[in-house]
Amino acid sequence: MIAEVATPHGPARITRHDADGEARAVLLLGHGAGGGVGAPDLLATAGTAVAAGLHVVLVEQPYRVAGRRAPAPAAQLDAAWLAVVEHVRAELTLPLLFGGRSSGARVACRTATEGGAVGVLCLAFPVHPPGRPEKDRLPELAAPTVPVLVVQGRTDPFGRPEPAPGREVVLLRGDHSLKSDTPGLRAAVADWLTSHFGALTPAR
**pLDDT tens digits, one per residue of 153-198:** 999 999 999 999 999 999 999 999 999 999 999 999 999 999 988 8
**SS3 at position 60:** strand
In single-letter form, the type of residue at position 88 comes to V
User: CB neighbours of 91 closer than 8 A, spacing ≥ 6?
Assistant: none
Residue 204 predicted with pLDDT over 50: no
- What span, in angstroms and rounded, lies between the C-alpha atoms of 128 and 137? 6
Q: What is the pLDDT of residue 125?
A: 98
Q: What is the pLDDT of residue 201?
A: 63
67: left (phi over 0), alpha (psi -120 to 50) or beta: left
| Least confident interval from 95-99, 113-117, 141-145, 196-200 | 196-200
**pLDDT tens digits, one per residue of 83-97:** 999 999 999 999 999
Q: Please report which confidence band the pLDDT of residue 21 belongs to, taking 50, 70 and 90 as the band edges.
A: confident
> Rg (Cα) of the chain, in Å, rounded?
15
Q: What is the pLDDT of residue 174?
A: 95
DSSP, residue by residue, 120-187: EEEES---S-TT-TTS--HHHHH---S-EEEEEETT-TT--PPPBTTEEEEEESS-TT--TTHHHHHH
**SS3 at position 204:** coil
Q: Please report which confidence band the pLDDT of residue 202 belongs to, taking 50, 70 and 90 as the band edges.
A: low
Q: What is the pLDDT of residue 83?
A: 98
pTM (global) more than 0.75: yes
What DSSP designation does 94 have?
S
